[in-house]
Structure 1
């Protein structure tokens, strides 16, 4: 999916609550075990402590999703904001890897796949993630590194 990617466009959107957007922001499904583990992975590898995590089910998460033309009631989506620009799906994963640096930059290899292939692959995993990984509550993950990054 191609997102409207005007830098920091959400700041001028009346339906998006103001929030601290210093550093990258991940909007993730708070009910997904894969997303909860991904949040822990980000927290463990973000040595500068820059990343913030917003539950998809929060008012802010829903507003950001709608702003970028994504359905906040469809937990198959996730959103990554970096320097005010939005990415979703495997594109978001590649940008997270780049931002984390080191060996995680290799996640960018997914960008060699044509966008339609990336989108199909991402949707396949997203549609099956509850079945494969189960559910969790991101807001109650006991990891203190995750909890201090949450914006609710």
Structure 2
């Protein structure tokens, strides 16, 4: 798995994309994941984050680039300053990047990474049982559209 900063820029299989803002790649068919995106849109008043459906061509290319299955989304991906973050690390960084009081989530870094990742994996494995699957991908509103790639 290539985790070097901006490694996707050197991968011919990954289309060029604007990477000047942190990018959250999510399973847009998962109700839980789409709900997280709606939450982030509401609480990211500074419009710090951009979003990308994993089901898009670019999303699939990035999953493959990082050695992940582009059909079984075991983790959201946060790409920030060209560096990928997965599982608990990515989720904590996403929440901590939101406006106050969500930025206080930085306190979650005190959790040992193996424990936090196991908790993340438990939720990720059961997310469709917990919240279900959408029959169509999440579609942003016209006001939100500028925050989404592809």
TM-score under structure 2 length normalisation: 0.88
Map of 1:140 onto structure 2: 139
Deviation of the 1:101 alpha carbon = 3.9
Q: What is the SS of the residue equivalent to 2:25? A: strand
Gap runs ≥5 in structure 1: none
CA RMSD of aligned residues (A): 1.8
Matched residues in 2 for 1:146 and 1:126: separation? Answer: 25
Matched residues in 1 for 2:76 and 2:63: separation? Answer: 8
Q: What is the SS of the residue equivalent to 2:79? A: strand
Number of residue pairs matched by the alignment: 149
Map of 1:131 onto structure 2: 129
Comparing 100-109 with 20-29, greater Cα deviation is found at 100-109
Q: Indicate conservation of the 8 Å contact 1:94/1:109, yes or no.
A: no
Which of residues 19, 22, 26 in structure 1 aligns to 2:20? 22
Q: Indicate conservation of the 8 Å contact 1:97/1:105, yes or no.
A: yes
Matched residues in 1 for 2:43 and 2:137: separation? Answer: 18
Deviation of the 1:68 alpha carbon = 1.6
